[in-house]
Amino acid sequence: MRYCEVVPIVALDSVCHAYGHVPLLDEVSLRIEAGERVALIGRNGTGKSTLRQILDGDLAPDSGTVWRQRR
């Protein structure tokens, strides 16, 4: 039997981001693997677009690690 670890297409580890004194993301960790479907839901101003921009690489987090698979 051959063991093969599944490598995520994107992973966040302890990501934080704030606008001024308003924290939107606080110690967020997640991994998204190929073929997964992800939905972001929440009230306005809670960080959905900020999280998407960080996942896409359009915005750098204030702290934490973002890892993306090479395309």
Q: Which of 71, 22, 31 is nearest to 50 (CA)?
A: 22
Instruction: Specify the pLDDT at position 7.
Output: 85
pTM listed for this prediction: 0.85
Query: Going by DSSP bridges, is the β-strand pair 10-19/22-32 parallel, antiparallel, or unpaired?
Result: antiparallel
Instruction: Specify the pLDDT at position 17.
Output: 97
Instruction: Specify the pLDDT at position 16.
Output: 97
CA distance 39 to 35: 13
Instruction: Specify the pLDDT at position 6.
Output: 77
pLDDT, tens digit only, all 71 positions of the chain: 566 677 899 999 999 999 999 899 999 999 999 999 999 999 998 999 999 999 999 999 999 999 999 86
